[in-house]
């Protein structure tokens, strides 16, 4: 009989210890569990703090925020629709100047982008409000700007994406020297490519390269695109040569490195029609069309 009762006694003892643990410590453990993606454990701890009479108003608010994050991001089972009401309730309790306000507005905007169908205009308005609420030196500023820009890629519409490029031009100074610069310029490049603005595409890709690209595969793609765009679309042969040489020297393991060196040498010698790539000049293309199959 004693052995059967022991597990119950241990459970009651654990519950008593948790009840006696200061809310601040419970909250700290909850965020640790959340960081480890142990969402069930984190949610139980957040719930205890949210319902604790000993917790301060700030501690209870943070616990409810943690539960909203879990509703929004927990995998599997994430539910951005249900998280909307949780975030809206949190906003009712924060001052206009509260440091948390910008973050919650941004997460609420994310929810409106993620529900089906997405409410893009609503999300965009909330992102703008978040940017107004965030301190200028907050690392969340650039992150929120990127999420705002991504909203312009939600709908495959040229006018919409052109507006996104205009918005990006206004944001550009805020990304200089930040860890987000390369991602930002990559997004600009995606927009410019969609609307066929090759000058803007070359500018964005060059800025992405100069911002620093740690992924070798991405650097290879960016430099090769820069070389081909300047050569084929813009007729900037000196720049094309320079990008080919950068590709060969900075990504020597690339399968394109050998071609890049050969093509750079051709361009240096003024040879527009490559022996190693499709012809560029109308003269050569016309001759190829007119030639008979036997080459005469």
DSSP letter string over 56-79? -HHHHHHHHHHHHHHHHH-SSS--
For residue 296, pLDDT over 50 is answered with no
pLDDT score at 284: 36
pLDDT over 70 (residue 110): yes
Planar angle of CA 196, 228, 255, nearest 5 degrees = 130
Residue 288 near residue 272 (C-beta atoms within 8 A): no
pLDDT score, position 77: 85
Q: Between 187 and 20, where is the model more confident? A: 187
CB 155 within 8 A of CB 120: yes
Closest to 238 in 3D by CA, of 265, 268, 217 = 268
Q: What is the mean pLDDT of residues 254-280?
A: 88
Q: Over range 262-268, report the average pLDDT.
A: 95
Q: Does pLDDT of 94 surpass 50?
A: yes
Q: What is the CA radius of gyration of the chain?
A: 28
| Per-residue pLDDT band at 295 (split at 50, 70, 90) | very low
**pLDDT, position 279:** 59
pLDDT value for 156 = 79
pTM of the model: 0.81
- pLDDT for the residue 275: 85
Mean pLDDT of the chain: 88
Q: Residues 250-268, buried b or exposed e (16+ Cβ, 10 A)?
A: ebeebebbebbbbbbebbe
Given this model, what pLDDT does residue 134 score? Answer: 94
Name the most confidently modeled range: 135-139, 215-219, 277-281, 291-295: 215-219
Residue 288 has pLDDT above 80, yes or no: no
pLDDT higher than 90, residue 176: yes
pLDDT for 228 equals 95
The structure tokens 């609307």 sit at 195
Rounded to whole angstroms, what are the CA distances from 210 to 174, 219, 284?
Answer: 16, 10, 36
- pLDDT tens-digit readout, 224-252: 999 999 999 999 999 999 999 999 999 99
Q: What is the DSSP letter of 233?
A: I
Backbone angles phi, psi at 65, to 5 degrees: -65, -40
When pLDDT is cut at 50, 70 and 90, the band that residue 274 belongs to is confident
Tokens of 82: 């249900």
Contact at 8 Å (CB) between 253 and 216?
A: yes
DSSP assigned state of 172: G
Task: Calculate ∠ Cα 188-149-140, nearest 5°.
Answer: 110
Give the list of residues 6+ apart from residue 238 with CB closer than 8 angstroms, or none. Answer: 267
| Residue 166, pLDDT above cutoff 70 | yes
Of 189, 124, 180, 130, the closest CA to residue 152 belongs to: 124
Cis peptide before 76 (omega within 30 of 0): yes
Q: Is residue 211 within 8 Å of 205, Cβ to Cβ?
A: no
Closest CA to 127 of 99, 105, 101: 105
Q: 285 falls in which pLDDT band (50, 70, 90)?
A: very low
Q: State the burial class of residue 48 (Cβ atoms within 10 Å of its Cβ: 0-12, 13-18, 19+).
A: buried
Whether the predicted pLDDT of 7 surpasses 60: no
Residue 276: pLDDT band by 50, 70, 90 thresholds? confident
Query: Is 24 in a helix, a strand, or coil?
Result: helix
CA atoms of 240 and 281, how far apart (whole Å): 16
């Amino acid at each position: 009989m004693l052995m059967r009762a022991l597990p119950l006694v241990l459970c009651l003892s654990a519950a008593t210890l948790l009840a006696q643990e200061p809310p601040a410590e419970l909250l700290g453990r909850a965020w640790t569990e959340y960081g480890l993606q142990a969402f069930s454990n984190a949610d139980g701890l957040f719930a205890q703090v949210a319902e604790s009479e000993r917790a301060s108003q700030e501690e209870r608010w943070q616990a409810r925020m943690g539960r909203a994050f879990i509703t929004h991001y927990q995998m599997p089972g994430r539910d951005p629709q249900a998280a909307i009401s949780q975030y809206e309730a949190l906003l009712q309790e924060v001052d206009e100047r509260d440091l948390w306000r910008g973050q919650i507005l941004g997460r609420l905007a994310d929810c409106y982008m993620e529900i089906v169908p997405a409410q893009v205009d609503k999300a965009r308005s909330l992102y703008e409000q978040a940017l107004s609420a965030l301190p200028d030196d907050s690392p969340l500023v650039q992150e929120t700007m990127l999420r705002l820009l991504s909203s312009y890629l939600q709908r495959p519409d040229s006018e919409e994406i052109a507006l996104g490029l205009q918005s990006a031009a206004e944001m550009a100074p805020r990304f200089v020297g930040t860890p987000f610069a390369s991602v930002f310029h990559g997004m600009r490049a995606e927009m410019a490519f969609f609307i066929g603005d090759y000058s803007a595409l070359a500018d964005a890709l060059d800025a992405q390269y100069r911002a620093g690209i740690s992924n070798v595969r991405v650097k290879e793609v960016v430099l090769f695109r820069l070389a081909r765009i300047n050569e084929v679309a813009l007729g900037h042969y000196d720049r094309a040569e320079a990008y080919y040489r950068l590709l060969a020297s900075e990504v020597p393991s690339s399968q394109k490195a050998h071609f890049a060196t050969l093509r750079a040498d051709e361009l240096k010698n003024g040879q527009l029609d490559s022996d190693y790539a499709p012809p560029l000049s109308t003269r050569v293309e016309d001759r190829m069309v007119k030639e008979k199959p036997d080459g005469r």
